[in-house]
Amino acid sequence: MREEALLGAEEGTKKYLTAEVEAAANRELASKAAQDVRRFEAAGARAGERAATTTTFLVSLVFLGVIPYMGELEKKASEVAGLRAAESFEYGAAARSAEQRLQDLKNAGVEH
């Protein structure tokens, strides 16, 4: 009986620590993704401004034509910002889920 209680407590502690690490990691990933969104939006805005003030001549080539014009660079930055925003949302949801599991474990009397 005592061994079962110890094993149960150990299992609860493992779940608690796992949820704690998962919450922290997902919060960090969500934060980094949100920072990327801001960076890509700013880069897209700069590219849009440049596209409006310069000609779409070969001067605006980036990496030998992979993204040949500033207008296309602006669109690509917007696409990537959208993808990172979606990732940030997913990481945030995962962090909230892990935090809820932590709270449930605390309410059950399990802590590390």
Tens-level pLDDT at each residue, the chain (112 residues):
666 555 556 787 888 889 999 999 999 999 999 999 999 999 999 988 887 775 544 444 554 454 556 778 889 999 999 999 999 999 999 999 999 999 998 998 877 6
How many domains is the chain built from? 1
- CA nearest 87: which of 33, 11, 32? 33
Residue 21 lies in a domain: yes
Q: Where are the alpha helices (DSSP H) in the chain?
A: 2-53, 70-107
Residue 22 lies in a domain: yes
Expressed as residue numbers, the domain containing 11 is: 7-105
Residue 111 lies in a domain: no
Residue 96 lies in a domain: yes
**Residue 54: what residue type?**
T
Residue 68 and residue 62 in contact, taking contact as beta carbons nearer than 8 Å: yes
Spatial distance between the Cα atoms of 59 and 66, rounded to a whole number of angstroms: 14
pTM of the model: 0.73
Residue 110 lies in a domain: no
Residue 112 lies in a domain: no
Residue 46 lies in a domain: yes
- CA nearest 70: which of 51, 88, 84, 52? 51
